[in-house]
Structure 1
Amino acid sequence: MDQRKKRKEENGTGSPAQPQLRINMPSTAKERVPSVDPYGFERSADFDYNTYEELMSEYLAILTRRSIKWSKMLQGRSRVERNLKVKRYVRKGVPNEHRALIWLAASGSQEQMEKNAGYYQSLLQAQHDPKLVEAIRTDLHRTFPDNVQFQKTANPCLQKTLYNVLVAYGHHNKAVGYCQGMNFIAGYLIIITKDEEKSFWLMEALIGRILPDYYTPAMLGLKTDQEVLGELVKVKVPAVWQAMTQHNVMWTLVVSRWFICLFIDILPVETVLRIWDCLFYEGSKILFRVALTLIHHNQDLILQARNLPDICDRFKQITKGAFVEDCHTFMQKIFKEPGSLSKATITKLREACRAKIMAEES
């Protein structure tokens, strides 16, 4: 194959090289595409079936190529080294059949699980804190009500699996226990891993190491990162920062759900999973890249806002539409549009913002 054509296809800008992936189906897109997506989520009444089919016909070819490359690299191994090739592969997307393996390996969760054999089951068998149990049970039915796997009529119903993971984690990390938002994260992990214990150890990696202090009672890490985003916008998208200041809009008002839910229910499922591929491999700075790209790419729309409600509305609008639905192109953009974003820069900003927040709250 011509190398330039191959690269274009890989980047999602050319025509798919595997026409055999196109299947002749009934005349309307709605008849072709199921009303439930591959992860169990029911499609909304206004779901654009035609656009989805057009997008997926090209993305399916890319996924097939990626899957072949991943299988060739892994060669049946359950381990993966951290190197530039793997990082490049992760950024281009981890096929679903390898996703749980890569998340576990990249985050160190596989190693922790093997070192602590039997620990998860011991947490489930121990006596449980009634207050923790009550808080978790209250949120179970609120977790993905639009996902058929979490509905009580499902067999098996994933609510029981979700309950186990959250109860185990609450007793493992008593400083965090349980707080809202964790149910959605655990739910996503269960959908992908289809395994309680693996989901538990991935939770431990996310909350304990990748996103420290996001889910503690004071939520200092979450507050800090929202302020860090503001400082980054000030430098990289100054016009938006000025508009936010002019209308006296606090960043927590428009981006807190982005961070606390790790873009679950904010962006399309396929896009969230691609973000999480990078989150487990590269760490939390990926969240800043996503947020900055959304803001930078849509700054003209945001700048049309005339007051606080307008700005809030614009921040909801920018998480919908074709730009975020084309997950392959979107992921390419997050590594280009925000420009340089070093770990040292993030660390320095976090230290300054954290100190400021603590001084204000003391």
Structure 2
Amino acid sequence: MSQQSTVPEHHVHVEPSVINDFDLDVVDEALHHPDKAEYTDHFGFTVQVRTDNEYDADTTDSEYEDASSVKNKSPPQKDTAAVVPEDPVLPDSCSSSIINANEDWQLISSTPIKTSTSYYDMLISKCTRSSNDSEKQAQLKQETSHNLELLKEKSLQQEETDWEFWSNVISDFDRVHRTEQAKFRRLLGVGVPSSLRGMLWQIFSNSKSNSELIENEYRELLNSTSSHEKLIRRDLSRTFPNLDYFKEPGGEGQEMLFNVIKAYSLFDPQVGYCQGLHFVVGVLLLHMPDEAAFCVLIKLMSQYDLRGQFTPQMETLHERLFQFNQLLLHFLPQVHRHLDAQGVLATMYASQWFMTLFAYRCPLDLVFRVFDLVFVEGSQIVINFALALMKKNQQVILSLEFESLLEFFSSNIFDAYKDNACQFVQDAYSFDIPPRLLQKLSKQYVLEAARIAKIQSMEDNMKRENIELTEQVKKLKKSYKTLELEHQDVAKQMIDAKMSMASLAAENQQLKHELNQMKREMVKIKASMDDESHYRFSELASQNAQLVGDNSELQDRLSELESALIDMKLKYAESENDYEVMKQKLHEAQKLSLFKK
């Protein structure tokens, strides 16, 4: 079965449609609020994020390539495999999320690999060492050429299509692009044969290189479980919701989309899952089977340098935005000044363009043209398209203010080209941006990023010091409050003591006064008592003398009575003695009388 027939015809020729209002300004809020800990989208999902500083604490300097080494190729080298970074060390947790108030975009890595070389690097290195790719590449070219001939037979009236040129492109893309660049660009403006677009993208990207190895790996990864499956499935319905191919839950489109993104999250754990990837993969699936889409996705991420837009620090995205902003100042200074005056930064509207290659909210016929040029010229061509949009809408942009500008960038900026995709490509090519200029801007970005990083580091240090000083101030305030309370208590005690002393002093004065009065009274009493005691003493002395006389008399009488008593006792003793004698005589007499009887 040919690749062309694997996707229904209506999936290839898609009418321009307005994608529903899922906000893709996911990068913007995170780029402007790096210190924010979490975001909540309109679906109620809460996403935890880590700052670049938190991420840097877990990683090494060798994890990412220096931004100054990024090569802006025009076109990228198709006959060599992807450049493999030198043994990056995965962090313990490489999780980053970027969302705004209307939509959440998560960049989450899976379980880290505890080795010096990541799983992704090993696979890319394995693919690089293998060179047995000519057979499948030749089959793809033959099949594309055959489909080109069939299309040519059905379209004999279309003189605008240079069938011979496209046949040469299919046979030797690198040579044609190198030797006939002007004609190639002109025909790209007219448009590639739409029914051959998927095959041409594979030829341009040389995705059949090592495709058998990658497809086998893809099938093996489908049998594994990704930690991001729940998040991936949650976002399936948000990707091209108006297209029949992706609309039905559990349908072929959503399942293919789930498989490719799940497999890549396992293939490249450092990137893991990012919601913006849905749109890139969705465009590929509209033109080729899932296995081929996975191979092309790997080429886009590694060879076309899209991977740096989805890694946790998004270094390539930041670089592209810097280049775009500087080129906007160069080519459209009036627009740049107006946006700067309104406070509208490139990160507020252009992030979604670079992350999804314009696949979000842009009419699909324009998106397909962007992908055509990306595969031919390289991912830096997105800058040309962004400048073309700004120039085409220059008058409108200059007439709008902040809120209206954001609304315009979000919804209406593509209206100027929605019926003229050819003009979109031609306007993009009208900007002559030499690779050396992009390299120069890359170097400036590195210097600017280093300066900002230094400032950020200083700010972080100042924030830490501020936190420490704040804690010290809190402690001092607490201590001061305690001392103030203690001072109030002491002051109150002192006041109470003073009042008590004053009361005691008054009482003391009163007592002294009373004491003096008592002393005076005592003196008076003593004087009166002395007179009275003298009088009474005299009286008592007189009474005592009288009593002494009386006592003498009584003593005399007592002596007389004692003498009388003695006499009486003697007389009583004599009478007692006489009585006993008489009694004795009576008793003897009674005895005699008894004898006589």
Structure 2 length normalisation: TM-score?
0.47
CA distance in 2 between partners of 1:290 and 1:139 (Å): 27
Letter in 2 for 1:102: L
**Shift of the alpha carbon at 1:324?**
3.8
Map of 1:167-186 to 2, 5 A cutoff?
Answer: 167-186=262-281
Aligned to 1:134: 230
1:319 matched to 2:416? The reply is: no
CA distance in 2 between partners of 1:181 and 1:102 (Å): 24
Aligned to 1:80: 173
**Shift of the alpha carbon at 1:357?**
2.9
Letter in 1 for 2:436: A
Structure 1 gap segments, 5+ residues each: 1-35, 46-60
CA distance 1:309–1:226, shift in 2 (3 Å): same
**Shift of the alpha carbon at 1:208?**
2.1
Letter in 1 for 2:240: F
Tell me which moved more, 283-292 or 324-333: 324-333
Letter in 1 for 2:393: N
Letter in 1 for 2:297: M
State whether residues 388 and 428 of structure 2, in contact with CA within 8 Å, keep that contact through their aligned partners in structure 1. yes
Letter in 1 for 2:237: H
CA distance in 1 between partners of 2:171 and 2:298 (Å): 20
Q: Which runs of 4+ in 1 moved over 3 A?
A: 36-45, 61-67, 70-73, 75-82, 84-92, 114-117
CA distance 1:82–1:162, shift in 2 (3 Å): farther
CA distance 1:38–1:172, shift in 2 (3 Å): closer
Aligned to 2:425: 331
Letter in 2 for 1:341: I
Aligned to 1:244: 339
Picking from 296, 318, 322, the partner of 1:202 is: 296
**Shift of the alpha carbon at 1:122?**
2.1
Deviations 1:28-76 (A, max 9, x none): xxxxxxxx8864568569xxxxxxxxxxxxxxx9994455x34664289
State whether residues 170 and 203 of structure 2, in contact with CA within 8 Å, keep that contact through their aligned partners in structure 1. no
CA distance in 1 between partners of 2:16 and 2:328 (Å): 35
Tell me which moved more, 222-231 or 115-124: 115-124
Letter in 2 for 1:238: P
CA distance 1:251–1:42, shift in 2 (3 Å): closer
Coordinate RMSD, CA, aligned = 2.9
Aligned to 1:264: 359
Aligned to 1:296: 391
Secondary structure of 2:286's counterpart equals: helix
CA distance in 2 between partners of 1:242 and 1:267 (Å): 26
Letter in 2 for 1:353: Y
Map of 1:55-70 to 2, 5 A cutoff?
Answer: 64-65=158-159, 67=161, 69-70=162-163
Map of 1:108-119 to 2, 5 A cutoff?
Answer: 108-114=206-212, 116=214, 118-119=216-217
Deviations 1:219-251 (A, max 9, x none): 121122112111001111011111122222221
Picking from 336, 352, 355, the partner of 2:444 is: 352
**Shift of the alpha carbon at 1:322?**
4.3
Aligned to 1:143: 239
Tell me which moved more, 111-120 or 258-267: 111-120
CA distance in 1 between partners of 2:448 and 2:356 (Å): 24
Alignment length, in residue pairs? Answer: 304
Aligned to 2:374: 279
**Shift of the alpha carbon at 1:116?**
4.1
Map of 1:2-81 to 2, 5 A cutoff?
Answer: 39=13, 43=17, 64-65=158-159, 67=161, 69-70=162-163, 73-74=166-167, 80-81=173-174
Secondary structure of 1:146's counterpart equals: coil
Letter in 2 for 1:83: V
CA distance 1:112–1:359, shift in 2 (3 Å): farther
State whether residues 41 and 147 of structure 1, in contact with CA within 8 Å, keep that contact through their aligned partners in structure 2. no
Q: Percent identity?
A: 26
CA distance in 1 between partners of 2:158 and 2:204 (Å): 22
Deviations 1:103-130 (A, max 9, x none): 11211212141464522212223x323x
CA distance in 1 between partners of 2:156 and 2:361 (Å): 24
Secondary structure of 2:238's counterpart equals: coil
CA distance in 2 between partners of 1:322 and 1:244 (Å): 19
Secondary structure of 2:261's counterpart equals: helix
CA distance 1:286–1:43, shift in 2 (3 Å): closer
CA distance 1:216–1:63, shift in 2 (3 Å): farther
1:214 matched to 2:309? The reply is: yes
CA distance 1:105–1:344, shift in 2 (3 Å): same
Aligned to 2:466: none
Picking from 341, 353, 358, the partner of 2:433 is: 341
Letter in 1 for 2:236: L
Structure 2 gap segments, 5+ residues each: 1-9, 20-154, 458-597
Aligned to 1:152: 248
CA distance in 2 between partners of 1:254 and 1:64 (Å): 39
Secondary structure of 2:413's counterpart equals: coil
**Shift of the alpha carbon at 1:355?**
3.8
State whether residues 264 and 272 of structure 1, in contact with CA within 8 Å, keep that contact through their aligned partners in structure 2. yes
CA distance in 1 between partners of 2:329 and 2:156 (Å): 36
Letter in 2 for 1:133: E
**Shift of the alpha carbon at 1:299?**
1.6
State whether residues 90 and 281 of structure 1, in contact with CA within 8 Å, keep that contact through their aligned partners in structure 2. no
State whether residues 215 and 291 of structure 2, in contact with CA within 8 Å, keep that contact through their aligned partners in structure 1. no
Aligned to 1:232: 327
Aligned to 1:92: 190
Structure 1 length normalisation: TM-score?
0.75
**Shift of the alpha carbon at 1:292?**
0.7
